[in-house]
Amino acid sequence: EVQLVQSGAEVKKPGATVKISCTFSGSSFTDYYIHWVHQAPGKGLEWMGRVDPEDGETVFAENFQDRVSLTADASIDTAYMELSSLRSEDTATYYCATDFRYGDYGLDYWGQGTLVIVSS
Amino acid sequence: DIQMTQSPPSLSASVGDRVTITCRASQDISTFLAWYQQKPGKAPNLLIYAASTLQSGVPSRFSGSGSGTDFTLTISGLQPEDFATYYCHKYNRAPWAFGQGTKVEIK
């Protein structure tokens, strides 16, 4: 079964950059797109964007396209989300999730989430 | 961009109740609609995809219906483990979007 394991919690100062990893196992990495989802404390889910591990193609939500970089390294089955120019409003849990390339199943597997705290 | 409007934002129900949550898309999304359950401190869990297909391992008391712009998640016979927040999610094309969530609480 597919498993996604994310890197640990981060504490960053305003203006800094954070990079979170999402390591995939249990199937073929390139059979899936990797999505990233933002959840502020006590708030709902917000889609950030998606990366295709096969060719690196990305699609972003408008709210995040200026400060987010999504990449994937198929040689080590790992996707990354980098968020720059951090501000207090970026304090949130960030999830990676898979979307099967050959079907329309929604987001079927999720990482455990990575908490990012932005504080001076 | 397509907006997803979920209602109600919260509801109180008792064990054994039938619960219905609705989700409306601002444009036709066919059946590219999923439902997720999220418990505090945990990642969301896929319940239903393609509007009405139950994900493997999900109890049959969960069901989904709808197409186009109007969708429904029904829990028939609420169980203690079902108290959680539920989200709809449209995935026909980018940008993907979630509803605001419905928190199901114990009455």
Q: What share of chain A is helix, strand, coil (3-state, %, to 5)?
A: 5, 50, 45
What was the pLDDT predicted at A86?
97
Residue ranges of chain A with per-residue pLDDT less than 50: none
- Compute the nearest-CA separation of A73 from chain B (Å): 23
pLDDT tens string B62-102: 999 999 999 999 999 999 999 999 999 999 998 999 999 99
Rounded distance between C-alpha atoms, residue A34 and residue B53, angstroms = 22
Show the 3-state SS of B3-14. CEEEECCEEEEC
What was the pLDDT predicted at B14?
95
The chain A residue lying nearest B33, using CA atoms, is A106
What was the pLDDT predicted at A39?
98
Please indicate whether, in this complex, the C-beta atoms of B95 and A61 are within 8 angstroms of each other: yes
* A71: CB partners within 8 A, 6+ apart: A51, A56, A79, A80, A82
Helix (H) or strand (E) holding B18: strand B18-25
Partners of B98 in beta bridges: B89
Q: Looking at beta carbons, which residues of chain A come within 8 Å of B34? A: 105-107
Please indicate whether, in this complex, the C-beta atoms of B98 and A46 are within 8 angstroms of each other: yes
Residue B40 reports pLDDT greater than 90: yes
Report the half-sphere exposure of B65 (CA within 13 A, side-chain side): 4
What was the pLDDT predicted at B106?
87
**Percentage of chain B exceeding pLDDT 90:** 95
Rounded distance between C-alpha atoms, residue A55 and residue A33, angstroms = 10
Name residue, tokens 């987010």. A68
What was the pLDDT predicted at B107?
87
The answer to whether the CB of A34 falls within 8 A of the CB of A95 is no
Q: How far apart are the first and last CA of chain A?
A: 40
Please indicate whether, in this complex, the C-beta atoms of A111 and B43 are within 8 angstroms of each other: yes
Please indicate whether, in this complex, the C-beta atoms of B46 and A105 are within 8 angstroms of each other: yes
What was the pLDDT predicted at A67?
95
Q: Looking at beta carbons, which residues of chain A come within 8 Å of B1? A: 62
Q: How many A×B Cβ pairs under 8 Å?
A: 64
Is the minimum CB–CB distance between A35 and chain B shorter than 8 Å?
yes
CB atoms within 10 A of CB B63: 16
The chain B residue lying nearest A113, using CA atoms, is B43
Picking from A6, A45, A57 by the largest number of B CB atoms within 10 A of its own CB, the best residue to mutate is: A45
Q: Looking at beta carbons, which residues of chain B come within 8 Å of A111? A: 43
Q: Looking at beta carbons, which residues of chain B come within 8 Å of A45? A: 36, 38, 44, 87, 89, 98, 101
